[in-house]
Amino acid sequence: MSMFLNVLFGFVLPWIIGGTYLLKKGRKILILIFPFSSMLAFTINQFGFHFGLWSLMPRMNKSFSALPFDLGLYPIQACLMIIAITNFPRIRCNPYWFIVANAFLVTFAEWVYLKFGMVVYGHGWNIIGTFVSYLVPLVLVYLYFNLIKQYVN
């Protein structure tokens, strides 16, 4: 049941909600940002699993349990964040507010998973560490986007 929920909330719903929009309106962002953000998600999850900082149900294979999120929620969310930053400059909002808001959003989603026992923390890991583990990659995605946008029209 827990793997079904991971696939549903980590892969299917993000692709239905965000992926369809990105395929229609943000294909270039999807192509440019998705691989980088997916790689970051996979790397951070492997680091956390290896050092026992967190565990995701089912525990049969830690990498496999996180795969729906690494290929769904996290990169889709990063792509949508870049779309929001690039499409709303007229708001005159600092782009880092979008990044912080996105980090809070996905941290809240993980907090829900934590409350239902789908995520277990270890070795002193906590929700603040989780927030930072989302904030840093989102900043890196934004910096990466600023680096590559000069090469792509």
Supply the pLDDT for residue 58. 87
Supply the pLDDT for residue 61. 78
Alpha carbons within 13 A on the beta-carbon side of 10: 21
CA dist 34 and 72 (Å) reads 9
Instruction: Work out the average pLDDT over 68-89.
Output: 93
Per the listing, tokens 């929920």 go with 5
pTM of the shown model: 0.93
Q: Which two tokens stand for residue 65?
A: 């349990």
Share of the chain above pLDDT 90, in %: 82
The DSSP code sequence of 34-79 is HHHHHHHHHHHHHHHHHTTSEEESSTT-HHHHHHHIIIIIHHHHHH
